[in-house]
Structure 1
Amino acid sequence: MASFAGAMDLLRLVPKGGPAICNVSVTNLCNATCDFCNFAHDKGFVTDRRSLDASRFAEGLARLKREAGVRFVTFMGGEPLLHKNIVEMVRTATEMGVQPTMVTNGWLLPPKVDALADAGITTLFISIDAPTAEVHEKNRGLRGVCERIREANAKLTARGVTVIASVAMTRLVTDYAALARFVKSLGFSAITFSYPRKAALGSSSLVWSEDSELVDMTPAEILAAFDAAEGAREIIPVHNPRAGLADMRRRLTGQGERFICHAGYKYFYLDWNYDLWRCEDWDKPLASLWDFTAKDMVRDGCQACTTDCYRDASIMLHFAIAIGDAFASVREGRPLAAFKALTDRRNAGSIGAVIGHGARLTRLAGAG
């Protein structure tokens, strides 16, 4: 019955362009020392230690559901498992019909597996930085974390939770085939790549580093990394849509992307202060969450950055948004505009991206 209700809830959102996603950074604390990230506890960027007030999370999530159609939430940090109420927030999201996922470094994960699974987590993204445990653990400053990840992955898989390796494309990844084999050996079912980030983000997020040589990559290096990531599909499923990697390739070669980003319209970033941003890359919030309404949403065809979680998700959301646009055009008496929205050639790439993630998306929707 709950699965049916979840599926019907998503169908009701189709005329409005489908459901939305929100990344929620629940804390700016982190227990790792990653060279390419300024959340690292040894860099000194985090001077005002903050965590999300969990007592208001249900209220805030209800506003996101009502005003923006948010039905998927990704808990992030810093390191989200450092938040003392993270399991309760996961459970709250599940009980409110919002499907929770999480991005973690895995160090604190093993003893929390059952609690997270019981709370409704269906997918976990765990960070991996290199093709070997030695290099990964040196960058993270977490000796022994790979064995903790292996232990947690076995337990998560037994509980029916999908575990995906989240890999930043940096100079630590010297062999993508070896990386794919390594993450398989750790018990991951798929891999997703984040594009290198050197420039400062405009928001409160610190997932960047201006002085890290690991992300100071040339366009030629990044293009080679894209090609290698495509090759990794022969070893393990790659979460990034082919159309997404192709668009990033077009951007680097000056051809321009085919797909636009829908951050601020169907994808949002909420920080530990309850400030709601269109994305981590923007320089000012849309609003405090407590003041946010649908009129604060933005849809302007942005092509400003290459932040993968927004760009890749925008490709998968594109067809649902096209359907919503068609519904709106019909209501406005503009049938030709509706036809144009439905016959946009980019819809095929969007549908292909969704099909490529069909099983996981079905589980996320609570229908499987």
Structure 2
Amino acid sequence: MGSTRSGIMDLLRLVPQGGPAICNVSVTNLCNATCDFCNFAHDKGFVTDRRFLDATRFGDALARLREQAGVRFVTFMGGEPLLHPKLLEMVRSASAMGIQPTLVTNGWLLPAKVEALADAGVTTLFISIDAADPAVHEKNRGLKGVCERIRDATARLRARGIMAVASVAMTRLIPDYAALARFVKDLGFSAITFSYPRKAALGSNSLVWSEDSALVDMTAAELLAAFDGVEAVRSIIPVQNPRAGIADMRRRLAGQEERFVCHAGYKYFYMDWNYDLWRCEDWATPLSSVWEFTPAKMMRDGCQACTTDCYRDTSIMLQLPVAIGDAFARLREGRPVAAVQALADRRNALSIGAVIGHGSRLGRLAGTG
């Protein structure tokens, strides 16, 4: 109870600064899968310089991000993060300094690590699912038998109080979104989140894209139908993508103005296996190395350049705390009218709705439920 209370008080102290920040950390560029729509796939040849993040320096790097950027949530990614031999040490390091760790994995190596991850402090875990048919999913992943490994893992995660979220790329492997929802529910998932298809190359060294995959070469009509499918899934299993985020993607496809901006570079960051800190995975140049990062290097320019869901959707939930932080800043400047205007922004109401929709997951992330 004491640690929970101190964690909540720590988050509250960040409110005048616009709330806590998040950092995605790619701990390796290696992967054991062969996904057609991802260039981390080990059979494609894109990864020529195999790298693991130096775990001996991770605690110092995260402490700097905690102090300089207000980072309180970290997501371990790859490649496949469970391939990193020192991953558990890094997870424990994050937990020890009050930074909540989450993880994105394909699930192949997960069964042997469930207990250790739970003991280390993970409360939410994202596992990739590509199709409603196990054979189709496993063929795309090149991991025969992975669905049963995932089923075993989700049961044990649930027993340890860890939320398992199915992480699904919206591709042509999903002709029926309702069938997909029923499948992931049967596998033992508590919720589902969708990644928007990525065909264009990312600006950073992240390889979560594919220029030549027919699976993500989708027309606007196909994408709109996919968004309809996502909305239909909500009646079967909780969907982590805010409705406001889906609505903004529809506006984008129609050439209309989007409502929300991205807070990457201000409240959301990407750190790679070289300890370079980027605004996001789509940005062409790093902000700096993590060792040289200061608040002066933050970027906030109302970016709407991409559809990368982890940044864009989360920015909707970050809208409210950022607006509160802006209000505090305007008050410090002696501008009360501007402070009221920041709080009166209509987007804040949609942000509140998104936060309420994520109540269970956010409670787990904050260590309160």
What does residue 321 of structure 1 align with? 322
What does residue 194 of structure 2 align with? 193
What does residue 340 of structure 2 align with? 339
- Report Cα offsets for 1:121-180 as digits up to 9, x if no partner: 000000000011000000000000000000000000000000000000000011000000
The within-5 A match list for 1:25-40 is 25-40=26-41
The within-5 A match list for 1:50-65 is 50-65=51-66
- Report Cα offsets for 1:243-302 as digits up to 9, x if no partner: 010111111111121000000000000000000000000000000011111110000000
The one-letter code matched in structure 2 to 1:38 is N
What does residue 46 of structure 1 align with? 47
Note the residue ranges of structure 2 that are not aligned, 5 or more in a row.
Answer: none
The whole-number CA distance in structure 2 between the counterparts of 1:194 and 1:362 is: 22
What does residue 256 of structure 2 align with? 255
- Report Cα offsets for 1:305-333 as digits up to 9, x if no partner: 00000000000000000000000000100
The within-5 A match list for 1:117-132 is 117-132=118-133
What does residue 181 of structure 2 align with? 180
- Report Cα offsets for 1:65-85 as digits up to 9, x if no partner: 011000000000000000001
State the SS of the aligned residue for 2:56: helix
The whole-number CA distance in structure 2 between the counterparts of 1:348 and 1:210 is: 37
The whole-number CA distance in structure 2 between the counterparts of 1:301 and 1:12 is: 25
What does residue 111 of structure 1 align with? 112
Deviation, 1:352, is: 0.3
The one-letter code matched in structure 2 to 1:151 is D
What does residue 245 of structure 2 align with? 244
What does residue 15 of structure 2 align with? 14
The whole-number CA distance in structure 1 between the counterparts of 2:201 and 2:244 is: 26
What does residue 172 of structure 2 align with? 171
Q: In the alignment, does 2:231 pair up with 1:210?
A: no
The whole-number CA distance in structure 1 between the counterparts of 2:16 and 2:253 is: 35
State the SS of the aligned residue for 2:60: helix
What does residue 276 of structure 1 align with? 277
What does residue 142 of structure 1 align with? 143
State the SS of the aligned residue for 1:360: helix
Deviation, 1:363, is: 1.7
What does residue 285 of structure 1 align with? 286
Count of residues in correspondence between the two structures: 368
The one-letter code matched in structure 1 to 2:148 is E
- Report Cα offsets for 1:86-111 as digits up to 9, x if no partner: 11111110011000000000000001
The whole-number CA distance in structure 2 between the counterparts of 1:177 and 1:361 is: 25
The whole-number CA distance in structure 2 between the counterparts of 1:219 and 1:366 is: 40
The whole-number CA distance in structure 2 between the counterparts of 1:6 and 1:219 is: 43
The whole-number CA distance in structure 2 between the counterparts of 1:88 and 1:119 is: 8
The whole-number CA distance in structure 2 between the counterparts of 1:67 and 1:206 is: 28
What does residue 152 of structure 2 align with? 151
State the SS of the aligned residue for 1:202: coil
The whole-number CA distance in structure 1 between the counterparts of 2:301 and 2:3 is: 36
Q: In the alignment, does 2:265 pair up with 1:264?
A: yes
Note the residue ranges of structure 1 that are not aligned, 5 or more in a row.
Answer: none
State the SS of the aligned residue for 1:191: strand
State the SS of the aligned residue for 2:14: helix
Deviation, 1:237, is: 0.5
| TM-score normalised by structure 1 residue count | 1.00
Give the fraction of aligned pairs with identical amino acids, expressed as a percent: 78
- Report Cα offsets for 1:184-237 as digits up to 9, x if no partner: 010000000000000000001000000000000001100110011000001000
- Report Cα offsets for 1:24-58 as digits up to 9, x if no partner: 00000000000000000000000000010000000
Deviation, 1:366, is: 1.6
The whole-number CA distance in structure 1 between the counterparts of 2:348 and 2:303 is: 18
The one-letter code matched in structure 2 to 1:10 is L
The one-letter code matched in structure 2 to 1:194 is S
Deviation, 1:367, is: 2.3
The one-letter code matched in structure 2 to 1:302 is C
State the SS of the aligned residue for 2:323: helix
| TM-score normalised by structure 2 residue count | 0.99
Q: In the alignment, does 2:24 pair up with 1:23?
A: yes
The one-letter code matched in structure 1 to 2:222 is E
